[in-house]
Structure 1
Amino acid sequence: MITASLPRDVPGNIEVFRSNKDTIPCGDFDSSDDEPLAEKAKRSRRQQPDQPVWRTCSPTYSTTTQERTEVIARQKLVKEQFQDLTPVQIFEKIFDDEVISLIITNTILYANQNNRHTFQLDSVDLKKFIGILILSGYHKLPREDLYWSYDEDVGVEMVSRSMPRQRFRDIKKNLHFVNNDEASSTRDKMFKIRPLADILINKFLQWGVMHDNISIDESMVKYFGHHPAKQFIRGKPVRFGYKNWVAATFIKC
């Protein structure tokens, strides 16, 4: 039986050892060869290192006492300057004259580059346009035209009285934040909004309300068009769009 089962293509001599499990000293025989696969899997799981145990604890800060005092003083200063302001006035702290001027200049420039020389834009119409965009963010309708509809169940009188529909479309068509002629000198995928983003970041650092507990999180901006910076994340409520990293805080009620 042993001779018949030996391999025929091995050069040289072959030594065959026969043994009985009962006569082999402990440690010399690997009994795992006769174990079912299920038992091996259970044993391998038992041999894995213990999984980490997460628990809630108070955060520790590396800031010094002087830095902490400066943060508290800054919070107090921002609170004093904002406490008597309306929501519109607080918004204008971020979208101030510098931002408005940037948008107007580049929007008119883009219209002229496309032979629309009759197009003009001032700060009043631009603020109305931004207000309509903010309103449409939470008062959603199936189509943009319905905001100017005469039907009582869909029309929004606040929108139709503030700006004609065609004027809104003209501003939306020409809205720009950068000179397109400078696109060839940069490889920045987000160059279209880079000047506006740089200004807003400085405004957020200036007027941002600081909290003790800040968490880095991600936020998706829904977008279905074509752009090299657009991402697809499976399993998310918003799967297509731009992924932004945000400093998230919470307010205790």
Structure 2
Amino acid sequence: MDTLLRDICAFEDLPECIPGEETPMESEEDDEDTIVYRPAFADDDDVPLSTVLKSSTQDESSDDVDAALSTFTEPHARQEGQRRWKKKDNSTTLPQFTEKEGYNADEFVNSDTPTEVFFKYFDKDIREKIVFETNLYAVQKGRNFQPITDRELLGFIGINFMMGYHQLPALHHFWSCHPDLHVSPISETMPRTCFTDILSNLHLNNNMEMPDNNQDRVYKLRPLIDGMNERFAFLYNMKKQQSIDESIILLKGRSSLKQYNLMKPIKQGYKLWCRADITGYIGQFERD
């Protein structure tokens, strides 16, 4: 085979180009005394590194070739070897929890019934705010509305509680004269016209004071939310273990604040963020 290649090169008047042998090349300066030798390959970039090293070290032993290959490392490998890892002390000391825990016993001395406990949270300040804003809204709208009192507001709230578990097909059925629909505790507490008037004028905040660039979507409920959060924090001291998570208030009606989440047990309603302790007591809530 070597003889055939030499004959072909001699026929074409070309230098010998046997693979693996070195071929002389003239330098760029055309200096006759300067000759550069390189392996005779068509494209050096496509030649494996091991082949180049072996062709340039034919006179050396195989151990020397293996040693040369072992010294070759990629750039990122060299950078990895230059890193020096150190241990850093990231231990922190948590402050001692010294706050009081549990409910405020002084505020529940004479609270023996659920209604009395409810009034501790839904206190007189909140009720007076609702009564004032409701009467103000009726005046602003120029409606023929008899101003309500705190007692009437409590009756209105109690009727809504009862309607929650005693349900009828329509609102007017609670004041119906039919014995199978009539509900005496509701009709005896308030006439139907008074109930509907309060329902249509009920307000918790002054619309005239709403800023032009209002970003609070629950502006009309803000006094109630802030007042309830203050009472939650005042009447109960939350425990050390607390968490913040979302909660859904079921709503099947129409509202721009309603959210849908088909992956939740309650798939539609108002979404709130609540802060609760290990007992499940909610000390603060805010709309999403």
Q: Normalising TM by the smaller chain, what interval?
A: 0.5 to 0.7
SS at match of 1:193: helix
Counterpart residue number, 2:234:
206
Structure with the larger RCO, 1 or 2 (CA within 8 Å, 6+ apart): 1
- Whether contact under 8 Å (2:258, 2:269) holds in the other structure is yes
In structure 1, distance between residues paired with 2:121 and 2:254: 28
Identity of aligned residues (%): 34
Q: Mapping of 1:211-250 within 5 angstroms?
A: 211=239, 214-223=242-251, 224-227=253-256, 229-248=257-276, 250=279
Q: Mapping of 1:73-92 within 5 angstroms?
A: 75=102, 78-82=104-108, 84-85=110-111, 86-92=113-119
- Whether contact under 8 Å (1:231, 1:242) holds in the other structure is yes
Structure 1 stretches of 4+ moved >4 Å: 211-215, 248-251
- Whether contact under 8 Å (2:100, 2:237) holds in the other structure is no
Which residue of the other structure, out of 105, 113, 129, is the alignment partner of 2:140?
113
In structure 2, distance between residues paired with 1:140 and 1:175: 22
Report which of the two has the higher share of strand: 2
Counterpart residue number, 1:145:
172
- CA deviation profile, 1:55-112 (whole Å, cap 9, x unmatched): xxxxxxx5625x1xx324xx36x23532541222221112222111110111111111
Counterpart residue number, 2:189:
162
In structure 2, distance between residues paired with 1:242 and 1:121: 29
In structure 2, distance between residues paired with 1:138 and 1:105: 29
| Counterpart AA for 2:123 | D
| Counterpart AA for 2:270 | Y
Residue 120 of structure 2 corresponds to residue 100 of structure 1: no
| Counterpart AA for 2:248 | M
Residue 225 of structure 2 corresponds to residue 187 of structure 1: no
Q: Mapping of 1:1-12 within 5 angstroms?
A: none
| Counterpart AA for 1:71 | K
Q: How many residues align?
A: 190
Deviation at residue 226 of structure 1 after TM alignment = 3.4
- CA deviation profile, 1:32-68 (whole Å, cap 9, x unmatched): xxxxxxxxxxxxxxxxxxxxxxxxxxxxxx5625x1x
In structure 2, distance between residues paired with 1:208 and 1:142: 40
Q: Greater shift after overlay, 192-201 or 151-160? A: 151-160
In structure 1, distance between residues paired with 2:241 and 2:167: 33
- Which of the pair has more CA radius of gyration? 2
Change (3 A) 1:142 1:235: farther
Deviation at residue 246 of structure 1 after TM alignment = 2.5
- CA deviation profile, 1:177-196 (whole Å, cap 9, x unmatched): 01111234322111010112
In structure 1, distance between residues paired with 2:237 and 2:191: 37
